[in-house]
Structure 1
Amino acid sequence: MADTGGSGFPLLMLHGSSNCKEVFLPQLESPLAERYRLIALDLLGHGQSANAEYPGPAYTLTGFAESAADVVAALGVKRMAVFGWSLGGHIAIEMLARQPIIAGLMLTGTPPIAPGPLGMLRGFQAHWDMLLASKEHFTERDVARFHHLCFGDHGSTEMLGAIARADGRVRAIAVNGMMRGDGADQKRTVETAEVPIAMVNGEHEPIVRLGYIDGLDYQTLWDGRCHVIAGAAHAPFLERPEVFNALLNRFIANAESYRQPVPIVLPRSA
């Protein structure tokens, strides 16, 4: 786990499938770490975290959300913003449905989908490389293809190693669970959220249907629009960190100061 510490408002960062916390180095090693407490963990089956002893429940969105909540509770975090990328975004939405301590949610490369296969078809693009997202056993060629899907030309040997190291059962279990509709209704959770929801994606996003993202019925969409970062694809926080970090800085500050509106109760007429 990476924890920059300090007294700044906490931000939990959740990485994507078959990746690791080091994907967030452009944030962890930026001035953001001087202003906020940035927390990035390796999900079970990834990076320096162990593979799950009981992968069936642990590698579902619910299982990941519960384990991430346990980590932040152990750190003494009482209120925080969350940034989720790809699979990490789906886990973050699951946390939002369960954890009242979340003050704001930023999603990248994550379509908040309704349960079941139809929801997935509406939110995700359909092409051959997408089949890798649920493939348990990777060949060397699969590792390279998945690396390119995630990062295009902005990857690294470290990220290749992270993909090769990841427990492939995560891909099979997590995606199959989403197909079954396990966990919260993510579309409804995001559309009815009472905290700021920031949508930040790359212009050339290869996995998510940006039209679907734009068409959701948000109640608390941050800035009143979905942000698209020019020249970036699935990982804009890595590909265009100077642009992304400026948005993230402003979002964390807004989430920290956000207060839910108090409903107005009109007196009953006599």
Structure 2
Amino acid sequence: MDVFHCTIDTSHGAVGISDTIDGAAPLVMIHGSGSSRTVFSRQLHSHLSRNWRLIALDLPGHGESSDARDPQSTYTVTGLADCIGEVAARLGLHRFPVLGWSLGGHVAIEMAGSGNSISGLMLCGTPPVPSGLLGMLRGFHPSFDILLASKENFTSRDVERFQSLCFGDTSNPSFRDAIARADGRLRSVFSRAMLRGQGVDQRRTVEQADIPIAFVNGFHDPFVKLSYFSGLNIQLLFEGKAHVMEGAGHAPFWEKPESFNSMLDRFLNTVAAHEANIDLKNHHFLSNRSVF
């Protein structure tokens, strides 16, 4: 399956995307801090593209996207969600599931909590935490390493360390370049906004959501407290559990692509079935109203 690349202009700046175009239904994939859409290459160039329209984008300040025109506004969780909403509208997407990784997962939850366009969430390396510092501490391991996620200016040593934390021994040479290219202002602005509790309460959002939600984490994730997920009460939890992938760290979709892609395919079918059920109920409701 061919993958098409283009740039879409938004009020936040130009956004680079990769799009398989064909497929039964769309999936939007959002990368994490310091990364780019190339991190999803093992999904874009897989059997998944035969059945699903896969769309990966570079967040503002990353990859081939431009730096934000207004960093203090765009580089927040609400600003990034708004930017992706503009891209989705330009692509003609009305309701779609999202695969969100790390920071991208937090943006995906924000989108789900602030509108009706999201039909499902698969979250990797993203604990849906309550607002504020205490919430962050519940879902993440406190360490000096996690401070890199909020550090504005990276040294070459920081770049190497961040790459190792995100990808372990499975890194690609392009990942280091992506980290070095990223606009460090996003890390500092985004972290401050999350700590202030900007945006939706992420835990409340996923617990009240009536869409399928999947959690997929690597067993060796250096940032995320895996025990946190057992305390969540999700209405439509995919396959009834938070999935943990052995032999993977913070990026299971990259480290274990075959197993991950199989799970993602099952999840997308679950989302499609749920949407079809909603459509059927709405049809019956409208039919019954017409009788009267």
- Which range, TM-score by smaller chain? over 0.9
Q: 1:66 aligns with which of 82, 90, 98?
A: 82
Tell me the equivalent position of 2:161.
145
8 Å CA contact retained: 2:23, 2:49: no
Q: Which residue of 2 aligns with 1:28?
A: 44
3-state SS, counterpart of residue 39 of structure 1: strand
Shift of 1:157: 1.3
User: For 2:58, which of 17, 42, 48 is the aligned residue?
Assistant: 42
Q: Note if contact 2:27-2:52 (Cα within 8 Å) is conserved in structure 1.
A: yes
Q: 98, 105, 110: which is aligned to 1:89?
A: 105
Mapped to 2, the partners of 1:133 and 1:79 lie a distance apart of 30
Q: Give CA deviations for 1:18-53 in whole Å, capped at 9, x if unaligned.
A: 100000000000010111000000000000000011
Give the distance between the partners of 2:97 and 2:200, measured in 1 at CA.
19
User: In structure 2, how many angstroms separate the alpha carbons of the residues matched to 1:7 and 1:250?
Assistant: 15
More moved, 72-81 vs 45-54: 72-81
Deviation of 1:8 after TM superposition, in Å, equals: 1.7
Structure 2 residue aligned with 1:110, among 118, 126, 146?
126
Q: 1:268 is matched with which residue?
A: none
Distance in 2, matches of 1:243 and 1:192, equals: 29
Local SS of the residue matching 2:194: helix
How much has 1:99 moved relative to structure 2?
Answer: 2.7
Partner AA of 1:157 in structure 2: P
- Greater Cα offset, 180-189 or 74-83: 74-83
Match of 2:240 in 1: 224
For these two proteins, the number of residue pairs brought into alignment is 263
Paired residues of 1:15 and 1:88 also in contact (CA < 8 A): yes
Q: Equivalent residue for 1:98?
A: 114
Deviation at 1:242, TM superposition (A): 0.6
Match of 1:212 among 204, 228, 233: 228
For the pair 1:126 / 2:142, whether they are aligned, the reply is: yes
SS of the aligned residue for 1:11 comes to strand
Whether the 8 Å CA contact 2:23–2:53 is kept in 1: the answer is yes
Q: By how many angstroms is 1:7 displaced?
A: 3.9
Amino acid in the other structure paired with 2:184: G
| Displacement of 1:222 | 1.0
SS at structure 1 position matched to 2:170: coil
Distance 1:125 1:7 in 2: 39
* Alignment-mate amino acid for residue 120 of structure 1: M
- Take 1:209 and 1:27, find their aligned partners in 2: how far apart are those partners? 26
Shift of 1:141: 0.2
Distance 1:7 1:24 in 2: 17
Which amino acid in 1 is paired with 2:244?
V
Percent sequence identity is: 52
Alignment of 1:157-172 (within 5 A): 157-172=173-188
Deviation string for 1:177-224 (max 9, x for gaps)? 110000000000001110001011111111110101221111111111
Taking the TM superposition and a 5 Å limit, the aligned residue runs for 1:70-81 are: 70-81=86-97
**2: distance between equivalents of 1:73 and 1:257?**
24
Counterpart residue type for residue 103 of structure 1: S
State the Cα distance separating 1:165 from its structure 2 match.
0.1
TM-fit CA distance, 1:93: 0.1
* Alignment match, 1:267: none
Aligned to 1:194: 210
**Contact 2:20–2:49 (CA<8 Å) still a contact in 1?**
yes
Q: Determine the structure 2 residue equivalent to 1:5.
A: 21
Partner SS, residue 145 of structure 2: helix
Query: 1:240 pairs with 244, 256, 260, which one?
Result: 256
Between Structure 1 and Structure 2, the one with more helix by share is 2
Q: Could you say which residue in structure 2 is the equivalent of 1:16?
A: 32
What does the per-residue CA deviation read over 1:70-97, in whole Å, with 9 as the maximum and x for residues that have no partner?
Answer: 1011001122111000000000000001
Partner of 1:176: 192
Aligned to 2:262, the other structure's residue is in SS state: helix
